């Protein structure tokens, strides 16, 4: 390979990494919204259950009843948080990949400049 083809390849990798990062960022936003909705659903369910007549006569009984009855909502919230964490990790990995490709491009551009002034040989 020559420097021109190396530059072309790294530019293609940068474009692909940017597209992938954009997709991961969109996923991240959607996952964050899902977490917010799951938190709201849990809060509404707790409030509704605590206000029921069969929840108990004191606050501790009402809270315990609401906790027992909101297991599904809590599981959904935990799942949404897990998916958000995965999306966050994917975004970190994609950003690191993009930076790596950009660093490689800058290295190749430096080699080209050095070749132009005769400070480097045209072989890598």
Domain ranges of the chain: 3-116
pLDDT, residue 55, reads 87
Q: How far apart are CA 21 and CA 95, in angstroms?
A: 7
**Mean of per-residue pLDDT scores for the chain:** 93
Assessment of whether the complete model's pTM goes beyond 0.95: no
Q: Are 5 and 110 in contact (CB under 8 A)?
A: no
Could you report the per-residue pLDDT of 47-99, keeping only the tens digit for each?
A: 999 999 888 889 999 999 999 999 999 999 999 999 999 999 999 999 999 99
Residue 2 predicted with pLDDT over 90: no
Q: Quote the tokens at residue 43.
A: 């809060």
Residue 7 predicted with pLDDT over 80: yes
Q: Are 91 and 31 in contact (CB under 8 A)?
A: no
């Amino acid at each position: 390979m020559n420097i021109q083809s190396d530059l072309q390849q790294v530019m293609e990798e940068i474009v692909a990494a940017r597209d992938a990062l954009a997709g991961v960022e969109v996923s991240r936003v959607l996952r964050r919204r899902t977490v917010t909705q799951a938190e709201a659903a849990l809060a509404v369910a707790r409030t509704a259950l605590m206000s029921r007549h069969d929840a108990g006569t004191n606050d501790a009984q009402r809270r315990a009843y609401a906790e027992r009855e909101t297991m599904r909502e809590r599981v959904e919230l935990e799942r949404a948080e897990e998916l958000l964490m995965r999306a966050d990790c994917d975004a970190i990995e994609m950003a690191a990949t993009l930076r790596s490709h950009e660093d490689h491009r800058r290295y190749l551009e430096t080699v080209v400049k050095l070749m132009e002034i005769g400070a480097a040989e045209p072989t890598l």
